[in-house]
Amino acid sequence: MTEVDYLIIGGGLAGLSAAAALAPTDARILVLEREEALGYHSSGRSAAMFEAHYGPAPVQVLSQASEAHHRDQKCLSPRGLLLVGRADQAEIFEADCTALALNKISVAEACEMIPVLDPEQVSFAAHHSAAMDLDADLLLQGFAKTLRAHGGEIRTRAAVSALSRSEDGWQVRCGEDQIAAKTVVNAAGAWADELAKMAGIAPICLQPKRRSMARLPAPGGHDVSRWPMTMGAGETWYAKPDAGKLLVSPAEADPVAPHDAYADDLVLAEGLARYEEMVTTPVTRVEHNWAGLRSFVADGIPVLGPDPADPSFVWCAGQGGYGVQISPAAGRLIAALVTGAAAEFDAATVAALSPERLR
């Protein structure tokens, strides 16, 4: 029998950020990850960027509150964001410029940044330098190190097979071990609703959505290291330098069941075609492809906090495409809500993130 104060189910950035934020309380904390490695699913498959103006208002609040942590941990490096659009995408382009607080630049300036852009196809361009590369693995390992430094435990290959309410908390079956926990934090990613059902808690109608990625050789042999991340108007594709290569995504959000995601060949080909349309260098080879799941509830805002029907069951789910960049602030919010400490965010933001809004 293992007895803990906080059992966190899910070893991605959602779960580990909450665990690290709770660690200084000296509570007994155990993180369970059913895969063989931490961050196996969404956290480890993200083309991670820090973009403070990306997402709905509550997400932007969490992103901006996370920036200091990212900088302190040296997780950020310069990248920049470039938006390009065709002549028939003027309205969509304008909306993206406003949402992302971009500065319009000339097509010639955009082509100086990305020499393979086709000036005959690109009619609009906008840019800002504030977008940063975000090292998701460094961030994740930092959270894990903090937890372990305070005596917390992480178990991998640790799948939960049963979860039931007891008089003073939860009884959890994991392999041959029986775990007694006062509080359960549900950070199970795409499987968060399945875990809730196991616990007898109403689900939040979480929908996992697939996003695919291809790694290409550097186009035309260019040095891509200083290229900004480039996005098509309406986020119909994006391209991002990575270790001398170019990552290109169709930026799809196709609803799927929770699973170990893989790229859909047709969707990937369509996305690469949208990218090819805007450049002068054709795609001749895909070195590798993969996919990850980003999970959303109906309003697209993360679900953070105790369930109103049972405050000892805490949601840390539905992070969508924002989970990496918001993780430090999201973890601190979870810690404040479960310990009764004062939250650093205004009441409206906390309410907008609370699972109570979905009941």
Report the pLDDT averaged over residues 308-319: 97
- Give 51-66 pLDDT, tens digit per residue: 998 899 999 999 999 9
Instruction: Tell me where in the chain the CATH 3.30.9.10 domain(s) lie.
Output: 81-128+207-296
Q: How confident is the model at residue 157 (pLDDT cuts 50, 70, 90)?
A: very high
Report the pLDDT averaged over residues 181-198: 98
DSSP conformation letters of 38-87? TTTTTTTS---EE-TT-SSHHHHHHHHHHHHHHHHTT-EEE--EEEEE-G
Report the pLDDT averaged over residues 188-207: 98
Give the pLDDT of residue 47: 74
Residue 325, classed as helix, strand or coil, is helix
Instruction: Tell me where in the chain the CATH 3.50.50.60 domain(s) lie.
Output: 2-47+136-203+299-358
Q: How confident is the model at residue 318 (pLDDT cuts 50, 70, 90)?
A: very high
pTM of the full predicted structure? 0.94
User: CATH for 81-128+207-296?
Assistant: 3.30.9.10
- pLDDT of 271 higher than 70: yes
Contact 196, 186 (CB under 8 A): yes
Domain 2-47+136-203+299-358: which CATH number of 3.50.50.60, 3.40.50.720, 3.20.20.140, 3.40.50.620: 3.50.50.60
- pLDDT of 43 higher than 80: no
